[in-house]
Protein backbone atom coordinates (compact mmCIF):
# COMPACT_ATOMS: atom_id res chain seq x y z
CA UNK A 1 0.00 0.00 0.00
CA UNK A 2 1.44 3.40 -0.96
CA UNK A 3 1.98 5.42 2.20
CA UNK A 4 -0.07 8.51 3.01
CA UNK A 5 -3.07 7.30 1.01
CA UNK A 6 -6.23 8.48 2.72
CA UNK A 7 -8.89 5.89 3.44
CA UNK A 8 -12.22 6.25 5.24
CA UNK A 9 -13.36 3.11 7.07
CA UNK A 10 -17.12 3.14 7.69
CA UNK A 11 -17.93 0.83 10.60
CA UNK A 12 -14.31 0.86 11.74
CA UNK A 13 -15.17 0.08 15.38
CA UNK A 14 -16.70 -3.31 14.49
CA UNK A 15 -15.41 -6.88 14.39
CA UNK A 16 -14.03 -6.71 10.83
CA UNK A 17 -13.61 -2.91 10.64
CA UNK A 18 -11.35 -2.48 13.67
CA UNK A 19 -8.56 -4.90 12.64
CA UNK A 20 -8.84 -3.64 9.06
CA UNK A 21 -8.37 -0.02 10.21
CA UNK A 22 -5.26 -1.04 12.16
CA UNK A 23 -3.86 -2.99 9.21
CA UNK A 24 -4.39 -0.10 6.78
CA UNK A 25 -2.82 2.33 9.26
CA UNK A 26 0.11 -0.07 9.73
CA UNK A 27 0.53 -0.20 5.95
CA UNK A 28 0.91 3.59 5.89
CA UNK A 29 -2.60 4.81 5.06
CA UNK A 30 -4.10 7.84 6.76
CA UNK A 31 -7.23 6.25 8.18
CA UNK A 32 -10.41 7.99 9.31
CA UNK A 33 -12.92 5.75 11.09
CA UNK A 34 -16.63 6.59 10.91
CA UNK A 35 -18.85 4.68 13.32
CA UNK A 36 -22.01 5.54 15.27
CA UNK A 37 -21.25 2.81 17.84
CA UNK A 38 -24.63 1.20 17.12
CA UNK A 39 -23.11 -2.25 17.57
CA UNK A 40 -22.04 -1.41 21.13
CA UNK A 41 -25.58 -0.11 21.80
CA UNK A 42 -27.06 -3.36 20.47
CA UNK A 43 -24.95 -5.22 23.07
CA UNK A 44 -26.78 -3.17 25.71
CA UNK A 45 -30.16 -3.90 24.07
CA UNK A 46 -29.43 -7.64 24.06
CA UNK A 47 -27.97 -7.61 27.56
CA UNK A 48 -24.70 -9.10 26.31
CA UNK A 49 -21.09 -8.13 25.94
CA UNK A 50 -18.22 -9.09 23.69
CA UNK A 51 -16.40 -12.18 24.98
CA UNK A 52 -13.25 -10.08 24.89
CA UNK A 53 -13.09 -6.86 26.96
CA UNK A 54 -13.04 -4.26 24.18
CA UNK A 55 -11.99 -0.74 25.09
CA UNK A 56 -13.86 2.47 24.17
CA UNK A 57 -12.89 3.68 20.72
CA UNK A 58 -11.05 6.72 22.11
CA UNK A 59 -8.78 4.51 24.20
CA UNK A 60 -8.23 2.10 21.31
CA UNK A 61 -7.05 4.97 19.12
CA UNK A 62 -4.91 6.57 21.82
CA UNK A 63 -3.10 3.28 22.47
CA UNK A 64 -2.56 2.68 18.76
CA UNK A 65 -0.95 6.12 18.44
CA UNK A 66 1.23 5.60 21.52
CA UNK A 67 2.40 2.19 20.27
CA UNK A 68 2.99 3.01 16.63
CA UNK A 69 3.13 6.79 16.31
CA UNK A 70 0.31 6.52 13.77
CA UNK A 71 -2.85 8.58 14.25
CA UNK A 72 -6.28 7.31 13.23
CA UNK A 73 -9.05 9.93 13.12
CA UNK A 74 -12.54 9.11 14.33
CA UNK A 75 -15.99 10.62 13.62
CA UNK A 76 -19.19 9.52 15.29
CA UNK A 77 -21.69 9.71 12.42
CA UNK A 78 -24.74 7.70 11.47
CA UNK A 79 -24.18 7.19 7.75
CA UNK A 80 -27.85 6.27 7.24
CA UNK A 81 -29.03 9.60 8.71
CA UNK A 82 -26.24 12.20 8.83
CA UNK A 83 -25.91 12.75 5.10
CA UNK A 84 -24.58 16.33 5.15
CA UNK A 85 -21.91 15.49 7.71
CA UNK A 86 -20.85 12.44 5.71
CA UNK A 87 -20.67 14.44 2.47
CA UNK A 88 -18.65 17.15 4.23
CA UNK A 89 -16.26 14.61 5.71
CA UNK A 90 -15.62 13.08 2.29
CA UNK A 91 -14.86 16.56 0.89
CA UNK A 92 -12.53 17.24 3.80
CA UNK A 93 -10.61 13.95 3.76
CA UNK A 94 -10.62 13.47 -0.04
CA UNK A 95 -10.00 9.71 0.33
CA UNK A 96 -8.64 7.44 -2.36
CA UNK A 97 -10.91 4.67 -1.07
CA UNK A 98 -13.85 4.20 1.29
CA UNK A 99 -14.25 0.80 2.94
CA UNK A 100 -17.88 0.19 3.90
CA UNK A 101 -18.54 -2.16 6.84
CA UNK A 102 -21.23 0.02 8.46
CA UNK A 103 -24.33 -2.17 8.34
CA UNK A 104 -26.45 -4.22 10.73
CA UNK A 105 -24.90 -7.58 9.94
CA UNK A 106 -26.67 -10.28 11.97
CA UNK A 107 -29.28 -12.39 10.18
CA UNK A 108 -31.01 -13.49 13.45
CA UNK A 109 -31.14 -9.89 14.74
CA UNK A 110 -32.72 -8.80 11.46
CA UNK A 111 -35.51 -11.39 11.94
CA UNK A 112 -36.36 -10.71 15.61
CA UNK A 113 -39.41 -8.47 15.14
CA UNK A 114 -40.93 -5.94 12.72
CA UNK A 115 -38.84 -3.24 14.42
CA UNK A 116 -35.63 -5.15 13.80
CA UNK A 117 -36.55 -5.90 10.19
CA UNK A 118 -37.31 -2.25 9.50
CA UNK A 119 -34.21 -1.02 11.29
CA UNK A 120 -31.99 -3.37 9.28
CA UNK A 121 -33.49 -2.32 5.93
CA UNK A 122 -33.47 1.41 6.80
CA UNK A 123 -29.96 1.36 8.23
CA UNK A 124 -28.29 -0.75 5.56
CA UNK A 125 -30.04 0.54 2.45
CA UNK A 126 -30.00 4.23 3.38
CA UNK A 127 -26.41 3.99 4.58
CA UNK A 128 -25.18 2.46 1.34
CA UNK A 129 -27.19 4.88 -0.77
CA UNK A 130 -25.93 7.88 1.20
CA UNK A 131 -22.32 6.80 0.66
CA UNK A 132 -22.82 6.43 -3.10
CA UNK A 133 -24.71 9.71 -3.35
CA UNK A 134 -22.04 11.57 -1.34
CA UNK A 135 -19.24 10.12 -3.51
CA UNK A 136 -20.97 11.46 -6.62
CA UNK A 137 -21.70 14.83 -4.97
CA UNK A 138 -18.03 15.15 -3.99
CA UNK A 139 -16.93 14.95 -7.64
CA UNK A 140 -13.89 12.99 -6.39
CA UNK A 141 -12.58 9.77 -7.88
CA UNK A 142 -13.15 7.43 -4.92
CA UNK A 143 -13.05 3.65 -4.98
CA UNK A 144 -15.79 2.14 -2.79
CA UNK A 145 -14.95 -1.24 -1.24
CA UNK A 146 -18.06 -2.82 0.27
CA UNK A 147 -18.40 -5.84 2.52
CA UNK A 148 -21.12 -8.01 1.06
CA UNK A 149 -21.93 -11.62 1.79
CA UNK A 150 -21.83 -15.08 0.20
CA UNK A 151 -25.45 -15.29 1.34
CA UNK A 152 -26.61 -13.20 -1.63
CA UNK A 153 -26.20 -16.32 -3.78
CA UNK A 154 -28.28 -18.63 -1.61
CA UNK A 155 -25.62 -21.31 -0.81
CA UNK A 156 -25.40 -23.38 -3.94
CA UNK A 157 -29.06 -24.13 -4.47
CA UNK A 158 -28.52 -24.29 -8.25
CA UNK A 159 -25.96 -27.06 -7.86
CA UNK A 160 -23.11 -25.29 -9.63
CA UNK A 161 -19.82 -23.81 -8.52
CA UNK A 162 -20.76 -20.27 -7.52
CA UNK A 163 -18.96 -17.76 -9.76
CA UNK A 164 -17.56 -14.46 -8.51
CA UNK A 165 -20.66 -12.35 -9.03
CA UNK A 166 -21.50 -12.93 -12.67
CA UNK A 167 -23.08 -15.95 -14.30
CA UNK A 168 -22.69 -16.92 -17.95
CA UNK A 169 -26.02 -18.05 -19.37
CA UNK A 170 -27.18 -19.13 -22.81
CA UNK A 171 -30.29 -17.49 -24.20
CA UNK A 172 -32.28 -18.33 -27.29
CA UNK A 173 -32.89 -15.27 -29.51
CA UNK A 174 -35.01 -16.17 -32.55
CA UNK A 175 -33.60 -19.66 -32.65
CA UNK A 176 -29.95 -18.56 -32.30
CA UNK A 177 -28.08 -19.27 -29.10
CA UNK A 178 -26.30 -16.34 -27.44
CA UNK A 179 -24.04 -16.35 -24.40
CA UNK A 180 -24.40 -13.46 -21.97
CA UNK A 181 -23.13 -12.65 -18.48
CA UNK A 182 -25.69 -11.58 -15.92
CA UNK A 183 -25.40 -10.71 -12.21
CA UNK A 184 -25.87 -13.99 -10.31
CA UNK A 185 -29.58 -14.20 -9.36
CA UNK A 186 -30.09 -13.00 -5.77
CA UNK A 187 -31.44 -15.59 -3.33
CA UNK A 188 -31.28 -14.08 0.17
CA UNK A 189 -32.19 -16.14 3.23
CA UNK A 190 -32.93 -13.35 5.75
CA UNK A 191 -33.87 -9.67 5.85
CA UNK A 192 -30.21 -8.90 6.55
CA UNK A 193 -29.01 -10.90 3.53
CA UNK A 194 -31.73 -9.24 1.45
CA UNK A 195 -30.28 -5.79 2.24
CA UNK A 196 -27.01 -6.94 0.67
CA UNK A 197 -28.85 -7.84 -2.55
CA UNK A 198 -30.43 -4.35 -2.48
CA UNK A 199 -26.95 -2.86 -2.00
CA UNK A 200 -25.83 -4.73 -5.13
CA UNK A 201 -28.54 -3.03 -7.19
CA UNK A 202 -27.48 0.39 -5.84
CA UNK A 203 -23.87 -0.38 -6.85
CA UNK A 204 -25.00 -1.50 -10.30
CA UNK A 205 -26.90 1.75 -10.84
CA UNK A 206 -24.25 4.21 -9.57
CA UNK A 207 -21.54 2.35 -11.45
CA UNK A 208 -23.55 2.51 -14.69
CA UNK A 209 -24.83 6.07 -14.32
CA UNK A 210 -21.96 7.86 -12.56
CA UNK A 211 -18.98 5.57 -13.20
CA UNK A 212 -18.43 5.09 -9.46
CA UNK A 213 -15.76 2.42 -9.09
CA UNK A 214 -17.04 -0.27 -6.73
CA UNK A 215 -15.64 -3.52 -5.38
CA UNK A 216 -18.19 -5.75 -3.64
CA UNK A 217 -16.63 -8.43 -1.43
CA UNK A 218 -18.94 -11.40 -1.01
CA UNK A 219 -17.57 -12.58 2.28
CA UNK A 220 -18.23 -15.91 4.00
CA UNK A 221 -18.67 -16.48 7.74
CA UNK A 222 -15.70 -14.96 9.58
CA UNK A 223 -14.00 -16.90 12.39
CA UNK A 224 -11.12 -16.10 14.74
CA UNK A 225 -10.55 -12.84 16.58
CA UNK A 226 -6.90 -11.73 16.64
CA UNK A 227 -4.81 -10.18 13.92
CA UNK A 228 -1.13 -9.24 14.08
CA UNK A 229 -2.10 -5.68 15.02
CA UNK A 230 -4.80 -6.39 17.62
CA UNK A 231 -2.28 -8.62 19.43
CA UNK A 232 0.10 -5.70 19.97
CA UNK A 233 -1.62 -4.53 23.17
CA UNK A 234 -4.67 -5.52 25.29
CA UNK A 235 -6.25 -2.12 24.54
CA UNK A 236 -6.41 -3.14 20.86
CA UNK A 237 -8.29 -6.39 21.50
CA UNK A 238 -10.95 -7.17 18.89
CA UNK A 239 -14.61 -7.86 19.70
CA UNK A 240 -15.82 -11.48 19.81
CA UNK A 241 -19.52 -12.24 19.40
CA UNK A 242 -20.87 -15.47 20.85
CA UNK A 243 -24.58 -14.99 21.76
CA UNK A 244 -27.61 -16.15 19.75
CA UNK A 245 -27.92 -13.20 17.39
CA UNK A 246 -24.43 -11.98 16.51
CA UNK A 247 -22.25 -14.96 17.30
CA UNK A 248 -21.31 -16.84 14.14
CA UNK A 249 -21.30 -20.57 14.08
CA UNK A 250 -17.66 -21.64 14.54
CA UNK A 251 -16.75 -18.95 17.08
CA UNK A 252 -19.97 -19.82 18.93
CA UNK A 253 -19.13 -23.54 19.07
CA UNK A 254 -15.69 -22.74 20.49
CA UNK A 255 -17.18 -20.52 23.22
CA UNK A 256 -19.89 -23.09 23.98
CA UNK A 257 -17.18 -25.70 24.46
CA UNK A 258 -15.30 -23.35 26.79
CA UNK A 259 -18.32 -22.79 29.07
CA UNK A 260 -19.53 -26.42 29.03
CA UNK A 261 -22.66 -25.77 26.94
CA UNK A 262 -23.68 -28.37 24.32
CA UNK A 263 -22.79 -27.32 20.79
CA UNK A 264 -25.96 -25.86 19.28
CA UNK A 265 -26.32 -27.47 15.85
CA UNK A 266 -29.42 -26.14 14.05
CA UNK A 267 -31.50 -28.85 12.38
CA UNK A 268 -29.41 -31.64 10.88
CA UNK A 269 -26.29 -29.49 10.66
CA UNK A 270 -26.27 -30.33 6.97
CA UNK A 271 -25.94 -26.65 6.06
CA UNK A 272 -22.69 -25.98 4.21
CA UNK A 273 -21.25 -22.47 4.42
CA UNK A 274 -18.14 -20.63 3.23
CA UNK A 275 -15.60 -19.46 5.84
CA UNK A 276 -12.70 -17.05 6.20
CA UNK A 277 -10.36 -16.23 9.07
CA UNK A 278 -10.33 -12.60 10.27
CA UNK A 279 -6.62 -12.32 9.32
CA UNK A 280 -7.52 -13.15 5.73
CA UNK A 281 -10.39 -10.63 5.86
CA UNK A 282 -7.93 -7.80 6.53
CA UNK A 283 -5.52 -9.08 3.87
CA UNK A 284 -8.29 -9.29 1.28
CA UNK A 285 -9.45 -5.73 1.95
CA UNK A 286 -5.94 -4.41 1.59
CA UNK A 287 -5.60 -6.33 -1.70
CA UNK A 288 -8.96 -5.00 -2.93
CA UNK A 289 -7.88 -1.40 -2.24
CA UNK A 290 -4.64 -2.00 -4.12
CA UNK A 291 -6.45 -3.44 -7.15
CA UNK A 292 -9.38 -1.12 -7.90
CA UNK A 293 -11.54 -1.57 -10.96
CA UNK A 294 -10.77 0.68 -13.92
CA UNK A 295 -13.08 3.49 -14.95
CA UNK A 296 -16.09 2.21 -16.93
CA UNK A 297 -15.44 -1.26 -15.51
CA UNK A 298 -18.52 -2.94 -14.06
CA UNK A 299 -18.77 -3.58 -10.31
CA UNK A 300 -15.89 -5.89 -9.39
CA UNK A 301 -17.05 -8.82 -7.27
CA UNK A 302 -14.80 -11.15 -5.29
CA UNK A 303 -15.87 -14.21 -3.33
CA UNK A 304 -14.04 -13.50 -0.08
CA UNK A 305 -13.96 -16.98 1.44
CA UNK A 306 -11.23 -19.57 1.67
CA UNK A 307 -12.97 -22.91 2.43
CA UNK A 308 -16.39 -24.45 2.89
CA UNK A 309 -17.61 -26.65 5.75
CA UNK A 310 -20.76 -28.41 6.84
CA UNK A 311 -22.06 -27.22 10.23
CA UNK A 312 -22.25 -30.71 11.80
CA UNK A 313 -18.67 -31.43 10.68
CA UNK A 314 -17.54 -28.26 12.45
CA UNK A 315 -19.39 -29.37 15.58
CA UNK A 316 -17.73 -32.80 15.38
CA UNK A 317 -14.32 -31.15 14.94
CA UNK A 318 -14.82 -28.86 17.95
CA UNK A 319 -16.13 -31.82 19.95
CA UNK A 320 -13.03 -33.88 19.09
CA UNK A 321 -10.74 -31.00 20.13
CA UNK A 322 -12.54 -30.08 23.35
CA UNK A 323 -14.71 -33.03 24.40
CA UNK A 324 -17.90 -30.92 24.10
CA UNK A 325 -21.27 -32.61 23.59
CA UNK A 326 -22.90 -32.03 20.19
CA UNK A 327 -26.65 -31.43 20.42
CA UNK A 328 -29.26 -31.00 17.68
CA UNK A 329 -31.80 -28.16 18.04
CA UNK A 330 -34.92 -27.25 16.10
CA UNK A 331 -33.59 -24.91 13.43
CA UNK A 332 -34.93 -21.40 14.24
CA UNK A 333 -34.19 -20.40 10.64
CA UNK A 334 -35.94 -21.13 7.37
CA UNK A 335 -33.04 -22.59 5.40
CA UNK A 336 -32.20 -25.72 3.41
CA UNK A 337 -31.88 -28.80 5.58
CA UNK A 338 -28.79 -29.95 3.66
CA UNK A 339 -26.83 -28.24 0.91
CA UNK A 340 -23.66 -28.65 -1.07
CA UNK A 341 -21.60 -25.50 -1.62
CA UNK A 342 -18.82 -25.14 -4.16
CA UNK A 343 -17.43 -21.68 -4.78
CA UNK A 344 -14.99 -19.92 -7.06
CA UNK A 345 -12.48 -17.74 -5.21
CA UNK A 346 -9.56 -17.59 -7.64
CA UNK A 347 -9.34 -13.81 -7.87
CA UNK A 348 -7.86 -13.25 -4.42
CA UNK A 349 -5.58 -16.28 -4.81
CA UNK A 350 -4.28 -14.79 -8.06
CA UNK A 351 -3.58 -11.53 -6.19
CA UNK A 352 -1.40 -13.47 -3.75
CA UNK A 353 -3.71 -14.43 -0.86
CA UNK A 354 -2.37 -17.47 0.95
CA UNK A 355 -5.44 -18.75 2.75
CA UNK A 356 -5.51 -19.60 6.40
CA UNK A 357 -7.52 -22.76 6.94
CA UNK A 358 -8.97 -24.57 9.93
CA UNK A 359 -5.99 -26.91 9.84
CA UNK A 360 -3.48 -24.10 10.40
CA UNK A 361 -3.58 -24.20 14.19
CA UNK A 362 -5.55 -21.02 14.72
CA UNK A 363 -8.51 -22.96 16.14
CA UNK A 364 -6.29 -23.55 19.16
CA UNK A 365 -5.77 -19.80 19.51
CA UNK A 366 -9.55 -19.23 19.59
CA UNK A 367 -9.97 -22.06 22.10
CA UNK A 368 -7.45 -20.28 24.35
CA UNK A 369 -9.19 -16.89 23.99
CA UNK A 370 -12.55 -18.52 24.78
CA UNK A 371 -11.10 -20.20 27.89
CA UNK A 372 -9.45 -16.95 29.09
CA UNK A 373 -12.67 -14.91 28.97
CA UNK A 374 -15.34 -17.58 29.60
CA UNK A 375 -16.47 -15.86 32.81
CA UNK A 376 -17.82 -12.99 30.70
CA UNK A 377 -20.35 -15.33 29.01
CA UNK A 378 -23.97 -15.32 30.18
CA UNK A 379 -25.02 -18.88 29.30
CA UNK A 380 -28.71 -17.90 29.22
CA UNK A 381 -27.96 -15.87 26.07
CA UNK A 382 -26.44 -18.73 24.09
CA UNK A 383 -29.53 -20.27 22.50
CA UNK A 384 -30.64 -18.45 19.34
CA UNK A 385 -34.20 -17.35 20.06
CA UNK A 386 -34.84 -15.32 16.91
CA UNK A 387 -37.16 -17.41 14.72
CA UNK A 388 -37.66 -16.91 10.98
CA UNK A 389 -41.43 -17.61 11.28
CA UNK A 390 -43.83 -17.58 14.19
CA UNK A 391 -44.75 -21.26 13.63
CA UNK A 392 -41.20 -22.46 14.27
CA UNK A 393 -41.04 -23.79 17.84
CA UNK A 394 -38.46 -22.31 20.18
CA UNK A 395 -36.18 -25.14 21.32
CA UNK A 396 -34.21 -24.39 24.46
CA UNK A 397 -33.40 -28.01 25.29
CA UNK A 398 -31.97 -29.32 22.05
CA UNK A 399 -33.98 -32.48 21.69
CA UNK A 400 -34.49 -32.37 17.92
CA UNK A 401 -33.45 -35.66 16.39
CA UNK A 402 -30.90 -35.41 13.62
CA UNK A 403 -32.51 -36.11 10.24
CA UNK A 404 -36.04 -35.14 11.26
CA UNK A 405 -36.96 -31.64 10.14
CA UNK A 406 -39.45 -30.08 12.56
CA UNK A 407 -40.46 -27.50 9.96
CA UNK A 408 -40.20 -28.50 6.31
13 binds ligand NAD, rule: CB under 6 A: yes
226 binds ligand NAD, rule: CB under 6 A: no
162 DSSP β-pair partners: 343
Which does residue 107 touch among ligand NAD, ligand USQ, none (CB within 5 to 8 A, set by kind)? ligand USQ
49 binds ligand NAD, rule: CB under 6 A: no
Which residue lies nearer to ligand USQ by CB, 138 or 215?
A: 215
Tell me, residue by residue from 336 to 355, as one string, x for binding to ligand NAD by CB under 6 A and - for no binding.
--------------------
Q: How far is the CB of 82 from ligand NAD (least distance, A)?
A: 8
Residue with nearest beta carbon to ligand USQ: 151
Which does residue 164 touch among ligand NAD, ligand USQ, none (CB within 5 to 8 A, set by kind)? none
Q: Which of 285, 311, 363, 366 binds ligand USQ (CB under 6 A)?
A: 311
> Given the rule CB under 6 A, which of 25-33, 72-80, 318-326, 389-397 is the region that contacts ligand NAD?
72-80
Which residue lies nearer to ligand USQ by CB, 95 or 220?
A: 220
In angstroms, rounded to a whole number, what is the distance separating the alpha carbons of residues 81 and 86? 9
In angstroms, rounded to a whole number, what is the distance separating the alpha carbons of residues 328 and 266? 6
What is the rounded end-to-end Cα distance, in angstroms, of the chain?
Answer: 50
Distances from the Cα of 64 to the Cα of 19, 56, 69, 330, 345, angstroms:
11, 13, 7, 44, 33
> Given the rule CB under 6 A, which of 4-12, 78-86, 136-144, 328-336 is the region that contacts ligand USQ?
328-336
Which residue lies nearer to ligand NAD by CB, 218 or 330?
A: 218
Q: Which residues are catalytic?
A: 149, 192, 196
Which residue lies nearer to ligand NAD by CB, 79 or 265?
A: 79
Query: CA triplet 321, 323, 328: central angle to 5 degrees?
Result: 105
249 binds ligand USQ, rule: CB under 6 A: yes
In angstroms, rounded to a whole number, what is the distance separating the alpha carbons of residues 7 and 93? 8
274 binds ligand USQ, rule: CB under 6 A: yes
Q: Which of 138, 149, 195, 345 binds ligand USQ (CB under 6 A)?
A: 149
**Strand 307-310 vs strand 272-277: parallel, antiparallel, or unpaired?**
antiparallel
20 binds ligand NAD, rule: CB under 6 A: no
105 binds ligand USQ, rule: CB under 6 A: yes
In angstroms, rounded to a whole number, what is the distance separating the alpha carbons of residues 313 and 321? 12
In angstroms, rounded to a whole number, what is the distance separating the alpha carbons of residues 250 and 244? 13
In angstroms, rounded to a whole number, what is the distance separating the alpha carbons of residues 257 and 306? 24
Q: How far is the CB of 72 from ligand USQ (least distance, A)?
A: 24
In angstroms, rounded to a whole number, what is the distance separating the alpha carbons of residues 199 and 181? 20
Which residue lies nearer to ligand NAD by CB, 12 or 332?
A: 12
Q: Rg (Cα) of the chain, in Å, rounded? A: 21
Which does residue 16 touch among ligand NAD, ligand USQ, none (CB within 5 to 8 A, set by kind)? ligand NAD
Distances from the Cα of 27 to the Cα of 6, 233, 278, angstroms:
11, 18, 17
Those residues whose C-beta lies under 8 Å from the C-beta of residue 305, and which sit 6 or more positions away, are 150, 218, 219, 220, 274, 275, 276, 343, 345
SS3 218: strand
With beta carbons less than 8 A apart as the criterion, state whether 166 and 183 touch: yes
With beta carbons less than 8 A apart as the criterion, state whether 193 and 125 touch: no
Q: Which of 1, 37, 317, 321 binds ligand NAD (CB under 6 A)?
A: 37
Which does residue 355 touch among ligand NAD, ligand USQ, none (CB within 5 to 8 A, set by kind)? none
285 binds ligand USQ, rule: CB under 6 A: no
In angstroms, rounded to a whole number, what is the distance separating the alpha carbons of residues 255 and 396? 18
If you ran DSSP here, which 8-state letter would residue 386 be given? -
Using CB under 6 A, list all residues that contact ligand USQ. 105-107, 149-151, 220-221, 248-249, 252, 264-266, 269, 271, 273-274, 311, 331, 333, 335, 384
Using CB under 6 A, list all residues that contact ligand NAD. 11, 13-17, 34-39, 78-80, 101-103, 105, 123, 127, 147, 149, 219, 221-222, 248
Amino acid sequence: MASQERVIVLGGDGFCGWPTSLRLSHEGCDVTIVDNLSRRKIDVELGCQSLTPIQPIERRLQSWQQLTGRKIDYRNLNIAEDYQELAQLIQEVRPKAIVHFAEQRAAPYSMKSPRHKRYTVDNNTNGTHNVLCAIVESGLDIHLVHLGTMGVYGYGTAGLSIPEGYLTVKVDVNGAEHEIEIPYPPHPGSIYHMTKTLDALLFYYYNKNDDVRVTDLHQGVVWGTNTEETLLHPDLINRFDWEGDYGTVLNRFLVQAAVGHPLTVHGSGGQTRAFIHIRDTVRCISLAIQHPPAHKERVKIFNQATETHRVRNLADLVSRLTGAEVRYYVNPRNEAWENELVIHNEQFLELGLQPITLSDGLLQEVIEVAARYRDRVDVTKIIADSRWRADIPLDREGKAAQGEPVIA
